[in-house]
Amino acid sequence: MGNRLDGKVAVVTGAGRGVGRGVALLLAEEGAKVVVNDLGCEVDGTGASHDPADAVVAEIQARGGQAVANYDDVALMDGGENVIKQANDTYGRLDALVNSAGITRDRMIYQMSPSDWDKVVRNNTKSVFTTSKFAAILFRQQRSGRIVNMTSDAGLGDMGRSAFAAASEGIIGVTRTVGRDLGRYGVTCNAISPMVETRLSPGTVEEHRVAAAPGPSRDERAGIGESPALGEWEGAGWPDDPENVAPLAVYLCTDASPNVNCTVFGVRGGSIFLYSHPAVERSVLKWGNFNMEEMDVLIPKMLGDGF
Amino acid sequence: MGNRMEGRVVIVTGAGRGIGAEVAKWMAADGASVVVNDLGGAVDGEGDDQSPAEQTVQAIRGAGGTAVANFDSVAEYETAGRIVQTAIDNYGRLDAVCHVAGILRDRMVFNMTEAEWDAVLQVHLYGAFNMVRHAVPHMIRQQYGRIVLFSSGSGLGSSGQTNYSAAKEGMVGFARSLAKDLASHGITVNAVYPGGATRMTATVPQSTRDLRGSTQVPQAPVMQAQGAPIQGPPEASDPANNAPKTVYLCTEAAGNITGQVVGVSGWQVTLYGPRHVTKSIHKNGRWTLDELDQLIPISLANGLTNPVPPAAPR
């Protein structure tokens, strides 16, 4: 057992499975007391169960760590408030918040219902706000804190999951702003895009998978090329294991690297990626407003006509 | 009058004032029949008023163009459907949707209320879904469409705008993904970063004034709160500057431009690249915390600057 987070308290949402579970386990292994939150719903957000959260709490305790379960729906303001309050009530403080709760309802846009849209945006993006708001109140008072938000690269251009793409990129918008709202109080807020195999992985819209989907893939947009594995996987887990995200997430929950704020990372297997923010690639300027004749010529000529 | 948009039908939401009104006018000037949609609310979304949309329609008709007003809200699925139906009822088709409608409810995250989160998400991001979802069946039938979603540089980080950043960057993710879903149907989808001197930047809501008055709110290094920093004299802040680029993205000629983020404010037109990987570390196994403690500071975190470092208590 490590001791980087001895005496510290963490909340992990969506900690009953997948990435969240891996983070909760490693936080506890480093000495943190963990509130393991999970609504225990299906991947589409329906239903609820205590089992996932209870199982992870049991696992932590079996390994000698401290944890308590919370079953609130953090898409609701009450849920966000309760989970933060439980950390404070049970363990007397809060030092780190990891937002990992998420669902998906993969649909082509023309098959997506308003409730599909709402459920995904609410469960994935609003759930980052509800917990962060209440954690921020505590963090601001104590002038310290860490927030890590799980997002995805769907917003770089995944087909068949535009709600998930919107929600994921929305989480990144929240991350960049919350880090700015709280930076002066010694708090950092960062995001990780886990590229691992969990129940959220794309692939359910089989009938709409076009062999050659138009345009660049999300990896191409992200600037990650094709490459063979470095070699045989060594040690615990396997390349697509969601537990591979935990080391970076826990690192971002420690006091290390206070200069890392409002930053987006990616994790795939043994690779950790640092993302830039969107930036100007090409620009055309003039003295005065453009007219349409200029647009006809300049946009294809200077910005491109084959994106 | 130009003819790039002749025979085309366009909906512009939030077209009663500011940038939306200019986009609507320029669309009409290039031959489009325009549905001028505006609820007519205040910058914080409260209230409603038919006169802004009607004024834009009068301006278009006065210049010899074709337009009709609509006062429905983009924020509800049903009422957004009525906006789309207005286009079909009046003009028989729908070629382009520019979703400009937007409000502000600025608040630091530790003070932000649920109502402030919901209102901003509903108008901007849910409004985008609502408009797109109703428009797309018509566009698919036509095998032609142009969708421009108004995002904002605030998605790159803007203190006091957790709700706005979520909605505006969410808009970008939505546009990139929609572009994939719809490319095979001749429909392009792009997001734009607008900007200019409008009531959204000039008459800031009370919550924003409270915010800026009481704290030194650090702004994102690239973008100010509601859009690109406008370089040049005051004329460069004219909301009309957003129009030619937006109209171009809706023309037939722009059929190959999709899934992009384009800066359309001021005297520039700018292509933004997506966030992408600039540094990486690799091993063929799971990282340990001992390894990360040593490696991250000299690799991934090396050179990173905290945009808002810790400050002494006031």
Interval B256-314: pLDDT, tens: 999 999 999 999 999 999 999 999 999 999 999 999 999 999 999 999 999 999 998 87
Q: What is the pLDDT of residue B154?
A: 81
CA distances A201 to A82, A103, A105, A231, B120, Å, are 29, 10, 11, 24, 29
Strand partners, B192: B150, B262
Q: What is the pLDDT of residues B223-265, one digit of tens each?
A: 343 445 677 898 999 999 999 999 999 999 999 999 999 999 9
Q: Which fold has domain B9-272?
A: Rossmann fold (3.40.50)
Q: Are B10 and B34 in contact (CB under 8 A)?
A: yes
CA B165 to chain centre: 11
With a CB cutoff of 8 Å and minimum separation 6, the contacts of B304 are A257, A259, A260, A263
Minimal C-alpha gap between A64 and chain B (Å): 19
Q: What is the pLDDT of residue A207?
A: 41
Q: Which of A170, A260, A292 sits opposite B244 (nearest CB)?
A: A292
Instruction: For residue B165, give the nearest of A136, A156, A179, A137 by alpha carbon.
Output: A179
- Provide the chain B residues 164-193 that lie in CB contact (below 8 A) with chain A: 165-174, 176-184
With a CB cutoff of 8 Å and minimum separation 6, the contacts of A250 are A4, A5, A23, A26, A27, A30, B289
Cα–Cα distance, B56 to B27 (Å, whole number): 12
Minimal C-alpha gap between B96 and chain A (Å): 16
More confident residue, B75 or A206: B75
Question: Which of B73, B149, B156, B174 to mutate to test binding with chain A, by most A CBs within 10 Å of its CB?
Answer: B174
Q: Which of A178, A289, A300 sits opposite B109 (nearest CB)?
A: A178
Q: What is the pLDDT of residue B153?
A: 85
Cα–Cα distance, A25 to A21 (Å, whole number): 6
More confident residue, A204 or B135: B135
With a CB cutoff of 8 Å and minimum separation 6, the contacts of B182 are A109, B136, B139, B140, B145, B147, B188, B189
Q: What is the pLDDT of residues A284-300, one digit of tens each?
A: 999 999 999 999 999 99
What is the mean pLDDT of the segment spanning B61-87? 98
Q: Which domains does chain A have, with CATH numbers?
A: 9-281 (3.40.50.720)
Percent of all residues in chain A with a pLDDT value above 70, rounded to a whole number = 95
Terminal CA-CA length for chain B: 58
Contact at CB, A307 and B311, closer than 8 angstroms? no
More confident residue, B155 or A138: A138
Q: Which of these is catalytic: B91, B126, B144, B164?
A: B164
Q: What is the pLDDT of residue B155?
A: 83
Residue B219 pLDDT more than 80? no
| pTM reported for the whole predicted model | 0.95
Please give the single-letter amino acid code of residue B108: M
**B293/A contact by beta carbon, under 8 A:** yes
Q: What is the pLDDT of residue B227?
A: 46
Q: What is the pLDDT of residues A212-230, one digit of tens each?
A: 466 787 788 898 887 777 7
Residue B221 pLDDT more than 60? no
Q: What is the pLDDT of residue B228?
A: 52
Q: Are B124 and B164 in contact (CB under 8 A)?
A: yes
Structure tokens at B192: 């734009």
Q: What is the pLDDT of residue B222?
A: 36
Q: What residues of chain A score a pLDDT lower than 70?
A: 203-214, 305-307
**A184/B contact by beta carbon, under 8 A:** yes
Catalytic residue flag (residue B164): yes
**B234/A contact by beta carbon, under 8 A:** no
Q: What is the pLDDT of residues B157-200, one digit of tens each?
A: 889 999 999 999 999 999 999 999 999 999 999 999 999 888 88
Q: What is the pLDDT of residue A149?
A: 98
Percent of all residues in chain B with a pLDDT value above 70, rounded to a whole number = 91
